[in-house]
Structure 1
């Protein structure tokens, strides 16, 4: 019996897989990557060696105000480490500059005060000006024309009116933008509702180029790059995280060049060779990305890549925050079947994209080909079953269900962290 500990919420879950069924574990090198430098030293090194850009200190010279875009509560960016260092570098060169920290919520709900303290630390929350972006509030946005794809470009007014705009974030494989980080701080991070929906339209989501680890000719990425350029995103600090959400590398500098360097590094350590298995077990890497079903779709896409036709995907995710989006939940639960829903979504035009349609489309795509079982003891099972998936309180219960579907001789592959893996 193979006994493995996998990420689950803020800890781990021990799972047992019978030896006769177990094909093996797919694990990115990020899980085992080690460096002699501390997390702070990694960040300092990146900031002192900017890629394709002047240093942060030189960029802030003579500026009266600036905005720092940061990630929200759904992203594991270690801002308690990165933000104090960024602020130190800025104020060492320009003590009087007025700084606003803009939380890039995209289409997510606003980050709560408690979540801000957990993410940034009490000192930053008490002393700094922090704003939550709200995609649906037109009065807080400014129109900058049109995206290359034709959608209207609306971005946060505070960011656009700042003398200097920079962003912090992290780079990991992303299931339709190729990679997170860089330009994603702007679109969808601080973009308006119409802009996000146009960028995440059904046509683009269906593109074979809009997949994990792909940037070249990815239509979603191309729109995002244009938005970042129009926003005049001048500088980024993007970190790469290891198994325990610790910083293992960092890239700073020009928003395009530094991001590309980071993506190259992530691709090198995240590529894993897939296989066709009857049952694929995966996770969303634990908290915060496993806190709802909406986010858990990301880990499912890694399993989708190496699951045989009509295979079973077992997703281990706490979903402690429930479904993660009312429209996401209602659209899935009110649909007759994933097949009918997917066919309907593919007929929706770019400018008629509905909130969360992209996540619905990807989940529906997966469910048309695979049975999905979510393992959690922290979520109402009714939510899961309403959304055309199965629920299991324990991993053993999930395996028993999967064996009933695929047979006792079914081959099983484990993807330890579906979010950090690029399955080829």
Structure 2
């Protein structure tokens, strides 16, 4: 049993939590040792999976680099800088697209913070302006015009646990981040999400991941530089062919992030912190990662408690608005889930997955700026974790719930 006093992330800071009347265990993954992102990216570029960048890009090529958005803590300035140093084209021949998917546009300050010296090359993706470049299984593959028109498409990415793709990164940055609604509608629809193998932490034999990879064969990237991270920070980088990059870094991430847990907990206290606790759409991932992961540690009537700032409310993007609308209009989680099994708008999939989890377990959001919103969205609000956890409970604390694999 761990000390009943501990800290959890909240926004850019942390909160102290004391549960003296509870039996508390803490799930802390092994973590690994942090590396310098720029040095790791350079080493990966010098020893890529497949042909080196100089053989992928010709000197006369127009190059488009798709990078992650503010919802992922990817060191994009370091990754883009390492790539551009090795490109046989001038800076004038490079365009950077911010891979938003259906999330809100990044602000100028966020672009500057994320890309630094390369911020002037970047533009937000607009999914409504996406153009078709091919199809996979009859599903149109649409991408940002800059991606469609480029001679060479490159990307950055963060290989971290993902509810559907197993791990993010690879082709996902381009085909979802810089993609259009048809592909997002298909990949995030109820039929594909219900398929066996679509699960957190699984790459092999995962239909969701396989579809993204095939879409990447149509739209790009031809070459990517991705990183993975753990509690200590960035742990490793890999470069080259996207499938191999994801497999490589997923293996590193599993070793760094997996924790064996037993069942029977009354509550899981799940930490999120910035940037994911900015809105309810993102912060709710903590609950679904616990409940719908490889090993749900909760007993039948157990609950997940998530401290989250939610200074953006539900979120400002199209997908975030659809998420809120679906939950707020529902009479119950079971009713929302059954209705959405018939289909839903792209971006609303987070409501579908959350409703699936809420059928079995309560989710409490604490310390938020929008408690009424939380209640509106079929969850429970409390001022602090102490108010959300019954005295005498057996509690599992997961300080970094989005980067911990409970197995």
Q: Which residue of 1 aligns with 2:277?
A: 290
Residues 20 and 295 (structure 1), Cα distance of their counterparts in 2 relative to 1, 3 Å cut: closer
Q: CA deviation digits over 1:2-38, x for unaligned, max 9?
A: 211222111112111236421x1112223xx215x53
Q: Secondary structure of 1:29's match?
A: coil
Alignment root-mean-square deviation, CA: 1.8
**Cα distance in 2 for residues equivalent to 1:104 and 1:20:** 43
Q: Give matches, 1:118-137, under 5 Å.
A: 118-121=113-116, 123-125=117-119, 128-137=120-129
**Cα distance in 1 for residues equivalent to 2:142 and 2:98:** 16
Residues 359 and 20 (structure 1), Cα distance of their counterparts in 2 relative to 1, 3 Å cut: closer
Q: Which residue of 1 aligns with 2:197?
A: 209
Q: Which residue of 2 aligns with 1:381?
A: 371
Provide the TM-score with structure 2 as the length reference. Answer: 0.92
Q: Which residue of 1 aligns with 2:33?
A: 34
**Cα distance in 2 for residues equivalent to 1:393 and 1:208:** 38
Residues 332 and 69 (structure 1), Cα distance of their counterparts in 2 relative to 1, 3 Å cut: same
> 2:269 matched to 1:281?
yes
**Cα distance in 2 for residues equivalent to 1:155 and 1:20:** 51
Q: Which residue of 1 aligns with 2:231?
A: 243
Whether the aligned pair in 2 keeps the contact of 1:328 and 1:360 (CA below 8 Å) is: yes
**Cα distance in 1 for residues equivalent to 2:394 and 2:297:** 12
Q: CA deviation at 1:243?
A: 2.3
Q: Secondary structure of 1:217's match?
A: coil
**Cα distance in 2 for residues equivalent to 1:129 and 1:230:** 24
Q: Which residue of 2 aligns with 1:88?
A: 85
Q: Which residue of 2 aligns with 1:369?
A: 360
> 2:286 matched to 1:303?
no
Provide the TM-score with structure 1 as the length reference. Answer: 0.89
One of 339, 342, 364 as aligned partner of 1:344: 339
**Cα distance in 2 for residues equivalent to 1:136 and 1:376:** 35
One of 350, 357, 360 as aligned partner of 1:359: 350
Q: Secondary structure of 2:16's match?
A: strand
**Cα distance in 1 for residues equivalent to 2:234 and 2:334:** 41
Structure 1 unmatched ranges of 5 or more? none
Whether the aligned pair in 1 keeps the contact of 2:271 and 2:400 (CA below 8 Å) is: yes
**Cα distance in 1 for residues equivalent to 2:386 and 2:372:** 20
Q: Secondary structure of 1:165's match?
A: strand
**Cα distance in 1 for residues equivalent to 2:253 and 2:15:** 26
Q: Which residue of 1 aligns with 2:70?
A: 73
One of 146, 151, 172 as aligned partner of 2:139: 151
Q: Which residue of 2 aligns with 1:410?
A: 393
Q: Give matches, 1:180-191, under 5 Å.
A: 180-191=168-179
One of 117, 142, 165 as aligned partner of 2:132: 142
One of 37, 59, 64 as aligned partner of 2:61: 64
**Cα distance in 2 for residues equivalent to 1:376 and 1:275:** 28
> 2:239 matched to 1:252?
yes
Whether the aligned pair in 2 keeps the contact of 1:104 and 1:189 (CA below 8 Å) is: yes
Whether the aligned pair in 1 keeps the contact of 2:133 and 2:219 (CA below 8 Å) is: no
Q: Which residue of 1 aligns with 2:109?
A: 114
Structure 2 unmatched ranges of 5 or more? none
Q: Which residue of 1 aligns with 2:19?
A: 17
Residues 151 and 61 (structure 1), Cα distance of their counterparts in 2 relative to 1, 3 Å cut: closer
Whether the aligned pair in 1 keeps the contact of 2:143 and 2:178 (CA below 8 Å) is: yes
**Cα distance in 1 for residues equivalent to 2:286 and 2:195:** 19
